[in-house]
Structure 1
């Protein structure tokens, strides 16, 4: 990163907060929570426009349109993602639906990774296709040729996740960006699983990147939110219109404050998440009671070379297939002390989740079989606890099988 702007670690701590003065001569070190829903304006201005309000100049009118706490967060998110613009939403799902809505219209076509988050797949099929007439072709994006073969003249959007949930599959973002450019299609990437510290899709050719701030960016399992970042000025204008007027979906001030606070330790947390996850992955891979471990940091991962090329770290999430039946998996989970059974990921605490009966339970058995979601599969979000405690806990779980 340009030294005149600051390195990632410095931006994570201070960017966007300085200069947000609550009163003349007072400058808080940390931006406070601005809970006001509306703001007094100095006078009647016949030339004023709500669409041209400049919060950076202290122009606030109504908190749905802009809020000082959220404004500070959005500046920091843009800087960390390597973008010119960022917007914060009430959830990761809200960020995704806005990102897609800004890129498509009825009759358009989308090419998407078949291994997307289940909520995104349902959004594309049940909302965009059934209600808005936007069709989607799902492909195995690990094979770039499949992405290219699915493109059409009416393809307006290419939507990817990398790594995917829960099998940690990757796609070659630079290669897919080139394909999207050929068709003048918007290329979007959900970067939630590793975040901007380890992977920066905008620098790999993506037009828009989204995150569930609920996960690593906030990092403390106490806030729901989402974010979108882009370098495309025209696209950013459309997203801003949808956020402020078309959908009215924005991150609440207190959640913006919590995310700003969480971002200050993002680099420190991510390094620990990754080192712990690497240790857990290697420990599990060496055990005969484990059929497979899916983690990009392992040399056995079929896309380890790609991960090394487009990521600076491998993240804190892995999945493991136990060599046992559903009852054995239940015994493994019940024996754990440091891995509560819960959905979500990216918090400082470790979690374990059983996709077949939790996040992917709405799918049919045939769909789960197609995606590789077996009864023996567990997704593990590795936290920042001491490595030895985590490994000892997992050993107890394996012994319980």
Structure 2
């Protein structure tokens, strides 16, 4: 396997050779906490990094390593780390990049738990953060301070579906030597590769599209620089310990094999649903970057292969009307998370972003009548029928 393979092939084969593991077609699950050394000297050499080999599964595991190598190639990076949750991945990158009294510049919106982490960093360690629309170079430059140690962005932003021009942000950041971190969860590496656009780190909540089946909690970090990822492995990951289990890594490897097939259906269903919702008289607005009328359409065409499997939309009315609509749905499930085979709907203001103060939510563009839809793999006609009856009931 090389970086020259097309992504559909990489998803299935990268990082694994059956010849190395008794000709097993599926990668084995190495359910071991520790590894045996032939001699005391060998153990000493491995701890010093002078010999390859595994030591202890918090420091590395063969099944996990296959996943990390595959994700690194998929995201066009030099190395990757797998974690026990998406938030463990977010935390690891930020702890790697910050010090006391640092400043983090963020996109206008972020996931609710990321917001909670930022608040905790400020309360406990005086690490401040500010939000910026990042629509122009002037916006970004004006928000950078002498203490800014990284720029952290989501694109598309959860749940407002706003897009950030990764290339623009990276270009400004490079002028002052600040690393750029991109949460790529909404896209997966099949739709967007931030490292190719100048970012330094990519984060995934692998719970979502990487898994695709709603049965794993996991996170991934991919870095442009192998040495920085190794530093993160031997400091933040080793000492805080937010590692992934071998079985969960195996489930993610299984999920990756169908990512391209699943994403094609997610994308097609989403496009049809967006068109349906856009013309409905009881829908105030549809927020979908694949809509040619969207203010973010040009950025989508520039940096994403296609618009993805997520829609946000505004029901006419407020919180009461939005929740009543949700309660009338029969096929679509009310649940947080995304990227599963099932179509999921949630009310961000009271669910994923409930921790965000109302004034901050308003500034992020999260209204009381906003709903976020993760479009699944069902028949799109059945999904439209379900939405239609819930809107008309």
State the TM-score bracket (shorter-chain normalisation): over 0.9
Query: 2:182–2:199: 8 Å Cα contact kept in structure 1?
Result: yes
Query: 2:97–2:150: 8 Å Cα contact kept in structure 1?
Result: yes
Choose which of 32, 37, 62 in structure 2 pairs with 1:68.
62
Q: CA deviation at 1:3?
A: 7.4
Q: How does 1:283-294 map to 2 (within 5 A)?
A: 283-294=276-287
Q: CA deviation at 1:19?
A: 4.6
Cα distance 1:174–1:354, how it changes in 2: closer, same or farther (>3 A)?
same
Choose which of 215, 218, 221 in structure 2 pairs with 1:225.
218
Cα distance 1:62–1:143, how it changes in 2: closer, same or farther (>3 A)?
same
Q: How does 1:44-83 map to 2 (within 5 A)?
A: 44-45=40-41, 47-50=44-47, 52=49, 59-83=53-77
Choose which of 252, 264, 268 in structure 2 pairs with 1:275.
268
Between the aligned partners of 1:208 and 1:109, the Cα distance in structure 2 is: 17
Choose which of 318, 327, 330 in structure 1 pairs with 2:320.
327
Query: 1:20–1:68: 8 Å Cα contact kept in structure 2?
Result: no
Q: How does 1:195-344 map to 2 (within 5 A)?
A: 195-344=188-337
Between 1:386-395 and 1:193-202, the stretch displaced more is 386-395
Query: 1:142–1:170: 8 Å Cα contact kept in structure 2?
Result: no
1:151 aligned residue? 144
Q: Is residue 2:127 matched to residue 1:131?
A: no
Q: Report the secondary structure of 2:40's partner residue.
A: coil
Could you tell me which runs of 5 or more consecutive residues in structure 2 were left unpaired when the two chains were aligned: none
Query: 2:31–2:247: 8 Å Cα contact kept in structure 1?
Result: yes
Q: Report the secondary structure of 1:31's partner residue.
A: coil
Runs of 4+ displaced beyond 4 Å: none
Query: 2:46–2:55: 8 Å Cα contact kept in structure 1?
Result: no
Choose which of 167, 176, 181 in structure 2 pairs with 1:183.
176
Q: Across the two proteins, how many residue pairs are aligned to each other?
A: 392
Query: 1:20–1:31: 8 Å Cα contact kept in structure 2?
Result: no
Between 1:246-255 and 1:283-292, the stretch displaced more is 246-255
2:107 aligned residue? 113
Cα distance 1:4–1:224, how it changes in 2: closer, same or farther (>3 A)?
closer
Deviations 1:314-334 (A, max 9, x none): 111110101133332233212
Between 1:133-142 and 1:208-217, the stretch displaced more is 133-142
Q: Name the TM-score, length of structure 2 as normaliser.
A: 0.95
Q: Report the secondary structure of 2:333's partner residue.
A: coil
Between 1:131-140 and 1:275-284, the stretch displaced more is 131-140
Query: 2:115–2:356: 8 Å Cα contact kept in structure 1?
Result: no
Q: Report the secondary structure of 2:41's partner residue.
A: coil
Cα distance 1:40–1:220, how it changes in 2: closer, same or farther (>3 A)?
same
Q: Is residue 2:389 matched to residue 1:396?
A: yes
Query: 1:218–1:263: 8 Å Cα contact kept in structure 2?
Result: yes
Deviations 1:327-360 (A, max 9, x none): 3223321222221100010111100001122112
Query: 1:153–1:183: 8 Å Cα contact kept in structure 2?
Result: no
Between 1:307-316 and 1:323-332, the stretch displaced more is 323-332
Between the aligned partners of 2:150 and 2:3, the Cα distance in structure 1 is: 34
Could you tell me which runs of 5 or more consecutive residues in structure 1 were left unpaired when the two chains were aligned: none
Q: CA deviation at 1:53?
A: 7.0
2:12 aligned residue? 13
Choose which of 22, 27, 35 in structure 1 pairs with 2:23.
27
Q: Report the secondary structure of 1:389's partner residue.
A: helix
Between the aligned partners of 2:387 and 2:188, the Cα distance in structure 1 is: 26
Between 1:350-359 and 1:205-214, the stretch displaced more is 350-359
Between 1:271-280 and 1:361-370, the stretch displaced more is 361-370
Q: How does 1:363-374 map to 2 (within 5 A)?
A: 363-374=356-367
Q: Name the TM-score, length of structure 1 as normaliser.
A: 0.93
Choose which of 25, 30, 36 in structure 2 pairs with 1:40.
36
Between the aligned partners of 2:108 and 2:376, the Cα distance in structure 1 is: 28
2:94 aligned residue? 100
Q: Report the secondary structure of 2:345's partner residue.
A: strand
